[in-house]
Structure 1
Amino acid sequence: MTARISLCIVGYGYWGPKLVRNFLGLKECRNIVVCDSMETRRFQAVADFPSVQVTADFASVLANPAIAAVVIATPVTTHFPLAKAALLAGKHVLVEKPLATTAEHAEELVALAARQGLSLMVDHTFVYHSVVARIKTLLDESHLGKLRYIDSTRINLGLFQHDVNVIWDLAVHDVSIVHHLVPERPVSVQAIGASHVANGLENIGFLVLRYASGLIVHSNCSWISPVKIRHMLFGGDKRMILYNDLDTEEPIKIYDSGFEARSDDERSQLLFDYRVGDIHSPKIVIAEALQSMARDFVRSIHAQRPAISNGAFGLEIVKVLAAAERSIRSNGTEIRLA
């Protein structure tokens, strides 16, 4: 029988309670400690989950040999120092997205985890979503034909973040989903954005990823939209998929629509056959993505194998986001990726 582990969730703000609930639901977890510097949050954690222990002392968590893993759900700028301290203390680490705010810091964490022989994982929750899993199957089976583009709209009113811009907060989901679904990696990043608040952090942004195959990915993200939209459109030359994350009944629609040229000569003359066919919405049983993510983290520890959204995966996401930020600072200059 696999030994049950004890872990500490650091940070009991918006995401912390969701993490506690999902880890408590795993039979592989024994004890959960919540660490937060705010007394009101510690009281709330006990009120919400009477079985948890609470502390304000992160150092005591690191010094406790009974705690095998640390889950970090704190402001983005604290991810690197907290994760580094936990890894140095011999703890397995799960970090909320993104892994760090710079590629250099993310690389340091990945290298440190490898040297220590510890699991390092990033909570890119959408990677574990049932709908994303179905889309991956369709793409892997070439159901769409050649994938030509992915166009995402991820907009809403708020919440403004204090430490990162909208690219790091919202476009990160699109980048992680695409990285999970598409085997190749982008060759360049281009982004523009604008800030309408005093701290100068962009609250609206547009991101473009280009690939050697010709695939192009576009992400439109905003904190200043009067409506909430979560759409991703996957365009193939045979079929197309619309993924609406807000539609719980029919989250994906497969359009039997496409385009093709009958000959190279006709292609050069822009003469194409356009096909508009049926729309199919497959039945998908939706499992809670956050619990699937939590289970993958625990099992990566027990099996000593990388999780799906492991540290190396998280590092790739940070590299893209950091390049996007450089592009914004350079008025939309295209940034090449190594």
Structure 2
Amino acid sequence: MDKKICVIGGGLWGQNHIRTLFQMGNLAGIVESTPQRLDELLRQYPVHGFTDVDAAIKWGFDGYVLATPAETHYPLGKKLLERGLNVLIEKPMTLSSKHSKQLIEIADRTNARLMVGHLLLFHPAIIKIKEVIDSGKIGQLYYVYSNRLNFGTVRTEENIFWSFAPHDISILDYFIGRPATKIAAKGAKFLQDKIYDVTMTQFAYPGNVHAHIFVSWLHPFKEQRLVVVGSRGMISFDDSSLEKNILYYKKQIGWLKGQPVKIEQPDEIIDYEKGMPLTEELKYFVENLDKTIEIASGKTGHEVVKVLETVQELISKDW
């Protein structure tokens, strides 16, 4: 994997990309508009440094990771893709479905690779849970819920749903494999006039499958819990736990003489090979620069942005 990648943005999440790509041997450039911050990064990672994107474009790297604030994703992504350059754009892909669709069209026209940073699609536990669902181990899929809760980081440009929920929307799409037919949502604002701090969103899918996403950055402790419920069993995974175990609960409701009866057997831990999702994501990006991006593609990012827009409209009308 001798591809040379340039990371645009040296902030909190950008530095994670920088560190991981450096460890992989693929980091070749960093773009950071603040000279002092750029100097700090270059002392730690001796690669080419730039204070503006245009200079990095002229250098001609094999791929670019766009880890800048969400409001810059469209203009910077467009600039790169119009030149036929391969880009991994952090989530959310853009702040409007119109713009995300345009980026897909540009990438198709220029034959550029476009990928979106839906990190959890590369999480070994999420991949394993999908395998368990598809195997029939939990029976018919009933519902899925995700809690993504923490104290901070509070955003001033995007609300909690745009900031936290893209991960969970991508997981629901991955697990269920079909778009929601109905969406309902409520939110609450406490800290800023136009920014929601807490949202609860419900989804209905074909086949009587349901889901909900609860996100908040005003929560006393961190929780990244995912629960999947089926007719023959249930799965729980908390990514914020130290163990990061996938727990399988062999529980179901049977019927005896017309009355519901609980059927429970010992729980078990489902084994899976643990790994770093960001490493797996970036490996996939690097390995597919000359191929086709199928996982976390631009189309996937666009579908997530459409849901984000829908929920934004719903919570805005609600109050």
Shorter-chain TM-score range: over 0.9
State the secondary structure of the residue aligned to 1:110.
helix
Q: 1:148 is paired with a residue of what secondary structure? A: strand
- Asked whether the 8 Å contact 1:153–1:220 carries over to 2, the reply is yes
Find the counterpart in structure 1 of residue 147 from structure 2.
153
Distance (whole Å) between structure 2 residues aligned to residue 205 and residue 142 of structure 1: 32
C-alpha separation in 1, matches of 2:190 and 2:292:
44
Alignment of 1:59-208 (within 5 A): 59-64=54-59, 66-208=60-202
Give yes or no for the alignment of 1:24 onto 2:22.
yes
CA positional deviation for 1:250: 4.6
Matches within 5 A, 1:197-236: 197-236=191-230
Is the 1:9–1:70 contact (alpha carbons within 8 Å) kept by the matching residues of 2?
yes
Letter in 2 for 1:16: G
Q: 1:330 aligns to what SS in structure 2?
A: helix
Q: For residues 138 and 40 of structure 2, what CA distance do their matches in structure 1 show?
A: 48
SS at match of 1:301: coil
SS of match in other structure, 1:25: helix
- Report if aligned partners of 1:237, 1:260 keep a CA contact under 8 Å in 2: no
TM, length-normalised to structure 1: 0.90
Summarize deviations over 1:276-306 as a string: whole Å, max 9, x none: 211101233211110100011112212x212
The yes-or-no answer on 1:276 pairing with 2:264 is: yes
2:289 paired residue number: 301
Tell me, in whole angstroms, the C-alpha distance in 1 between the residues paired with 2:243 and 2:182.
Answer: 36
| 1:325 corresponds to 2:319 | no
Cα deviation for residue 262 of structure 1 reads 6.4
- Structure 1: 4+ residue segments shifted above 4 A: none
One-letter amino acid matched to 1:233:
V
Structure 2 unaligned runs (5+)? none
Contact 1:231 1:245 survives alignment (8 Å)? yes
Contact 1:262 1:273 in 2 (8 A): yes
The aligned residue for residue 35 of structure 1 is 31
User: 1:55 aligned to 2:43?
Assistant: no
Indicate conservation of the 8 Å contact 1:187/1:209, yes or no: yes
Pick closer, same or farther for the CA change 1:17–1:250 going to 2, 3 Å: closer
Find the counterpart in structure 2 of residue 286 from structure 1.
274
Task: State the secondary structure of the residue aligned to 1:153.
Answer: strand
User: 1: CA distance between counterparts of 2:249 and 2:305?
Assistant: 33
Contact 1:63–1:89 (8 Å) recurs in 2: no
- Residue 117 of structure 1, CA deviation: 0.8
Count of aligned residue pairs for this structure pair:
319
Calculate the TM-score normalised by the size of structure 2: 0.95
Overall identity of the aligned pairs, in %: 25
1:281 maps to a residue whose letter is: I
Kindly provide the amino acid, as one letter, of the partner of residue 289 in structure 1.
P
RMSD (CA atoms): 1.6
Deviation at 1:109, TM superposition (A): 0.6
* Cα shift at 1:53: 1.6
Shift of residue 202 of structure 1?
A: 0.3
Instruction: Return the offset for 1:6.
Output: 2.0
For 1:283 and 1:47, locate their aligned partners in 2 and report how far apart those are by CA, in whole Å.
40
